[in-house]
Amino acid sequence: MAFSINRAFQEGYTKVLGYDLYYKIFGPKENRSTILCLHGGPGMTHDYILPLSDLAVKGYRVVFYDQLGCGKSDLPRNSALFTVERAVEEVETFRTTMRLGKVDLFGSSWGGLLAIAYALRYQRNLSSLLLAGAYPNVPFALHEMERLKAKLPPKVRGVMRKLEERGDYENPKYIDAIKVFYQRHFCRLSRWPAEVNHSLDHLSKPVYFTMNGPNEFTIIGNTRYWDVSDQLSSIHVRTLVTGGKFDEMTPNVAKDIHRRIKGSKLVIFGKSAHLPFWEERQKYMETVAKFLGD
């Protein structure tokens, strides 16, 4: 598979809370600050957020890692390890083990939920918070996705409803139906980047099913009732909230975060769904670089 991001990087493994995690670093340690990037899923790999490595060219050190059970990192048999609380401690231990110091913390989708959860506990270790398609309130996010589903073609909705009632989420007809949703609200590019397909093809089902469920809008895992929206007012680090006009985590979700984090900046990308760092890549990187520079 030919990836579209081929600039030089360092890679390796580090021991975090008893397990080996794979990491990838762009830019030298001497760069002016470090951006630590958290991928989504839960259960995907870091590859689909690799466009953030563009910021290394602008003088930042950009660090990625595969979370426990994901990508090239260890996959433990004990699914009880896949919780938000442990994931927060994993971020903190990774930060200290890698000697990253204070970081600009980027989180995409579930990674945004994780970044928010981290900030609520360890914001003293952050220079800023960068959120892309994040959601602090799972029930509200589900409500918004149901609203988007209601706007799908009647035939697609009928197939989804019928097979959801059976719990037949692996049915090829159901998979074809959710592709219609994903093309509208996950990534609107006519041809998805190889890195995005790689992350989806290598989704860790043990992690995804334990924490999320069978798909994006059927959340029956242990994050089903996660809601820390009433705690967002305690976040005081500089925060950039981004999302796409057509995002499965709708502008309403982004606006709610922005409203609750005092002084945060909100940017909605008008041609994007859930992956504006791909769909409007240059504009997205300019937005983040300007925010960090300011």
**Is 247 one of the catalytic residues?**
yes
Considering the candidates 53, 73, 109, 199, report the single residue annotated as catalytic.
109
| Residues 14, 55 contacting (CB under 8 angstroms) | no
Distances (CA, A) of 181 to 44, 148, 151, 175, 177: 19, 8, 10, 10, 7
Considering the candidates 247, 256, 258, 264, report the single residue annotated as catalytic.
247
Considering the candidates 39, 46, 185, 274, report the single residue annotated as catalytic.
274
**Is 109 one of the catalytic residues?**
yes
Residue among 153, 103, 109, 165 at smallest CA distance from 132: 109
| Residues 218, 230 contacting (CB under 8 angstroms) | no
**Is 198 one of the catalytic residues?**
no
- Point out the residues that are catalytic: 109, 247, 274
